[in-house]
């Protein structure tokens, strides 16, 4: 490849939008997750580097009875037909953001089920978090999720967005009363997802994860 051709190749890749999947992790009745997710999706689209898709786990059946062999041992495992859109979106994602509350100092069972039904779909991809709760702002759930995703060979970015006492931070119409801090935090996290997402996208393309 000539130097001139290589420069064009790099320029083309640098302008391509990354596929970002935003997961709403709570399925509880009356949940606040969709409000938080809608706000974050707006930030991600304004960022300009991402094509954004939202996955609401409340719309997807997530059986707790997993097959005898885990996805790690059967990458092409058969999943419930209604789970196909989730699997397809995760597989196509370059980066993922999980919107999660704290439930009893942890994350929702629905989110754990979605994670456990998949394996290769998470590998070598950056994960970001937007947390909300009445106390820690989702930090307790996020710290546990970092361990879970580390086991799946995903990379969790350092910075996050957190909404402690979220019910005092959002107006009835779903907008933030004081947006400056959260907007800045979202920008920082999205910048990190952009960097890691771009690097890992190219790495997966040039050398599939796990290949010798």
Residue 131 to residue 128: CA distance in whole angstroms: 10
Give me the pLDDT at residue 15, please: 72
pLDDT tens, 88-130?
Answer: 999 999 999 999 999 999 999 999 999 999 999 999 999 999 9
- Spell out the domain ranges in the chain: 33-61+82-206
pLDDT band at 208 (very low <50, low <70, confident <90, very high): confident
pLDDT tens, 129-144?
Answer: 999 999 999 999 999 9
Could you tell me the pTM of the whole model? Answer: 0.91
Query: What residue ranges in 122-170 does DSSP mark as E strands?
Result: 126-133, 155-156, 161-164
Q: HSE (CB half, 13 Å, CA atoms) of 100?
A: 29
pLDDT tens, 13-53?
Answer: 557 899 999 999 999 999 999 999 999 999 999 999 999 99
Which residues fall within 8 angstroms of residue 6, CB to CB, at 6 or more apart? none
Q: Please name the fold of domain 33-61+82-206.
A: Rossmann fold (3.40.50)
Q: Mean pLDDT for the chain? A: 92
Give me the pLDDT at residue 127, please: 98
């Amino acid at each position: 490849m000539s130097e001139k051709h290589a420069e064009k190749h790099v320029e083309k890749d640098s302008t391509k939008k990354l596929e970002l999947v935003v997961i709403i992790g709570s399925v509880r009745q009356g949940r606040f997750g969709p409000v938080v997710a809608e706000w974050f999706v707006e930030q991600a689209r304004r960022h300009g580097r991402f094509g954004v898709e939202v996955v609401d786990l409340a719309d997807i059946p997530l059986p707790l009875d997993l097959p005898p062999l885990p996805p790690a041992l059967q990458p092409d495992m058969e999943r419930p037909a209604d789970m196909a859109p989730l699997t397809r979106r995760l597989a196509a994602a370059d980066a993922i953001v999980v919107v999660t509350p704290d439930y009893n100092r942890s994350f929702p069972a629905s989110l754990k089920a979605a994670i456990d039904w998949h394996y290769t779909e998470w590998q070598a991809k950056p994960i970001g978090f937007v947390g909300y709760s009445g106390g820690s702002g989702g930090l307790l759930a996020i710290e546990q999720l970092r361990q879970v995703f580390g086991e799946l060979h995903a990379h969790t970015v350092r910075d996050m967005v957190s909404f402690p006492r979220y019910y005092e931070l959002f107006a009835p119409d779903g907008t933030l009363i004081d947006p400056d801090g959260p907007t800045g935090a979202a920008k920082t996290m999205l910048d990190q997802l952009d960097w890691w997402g771009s690097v890992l996208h190219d790495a997966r393309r040039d050398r599939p994860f796990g290949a010798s």
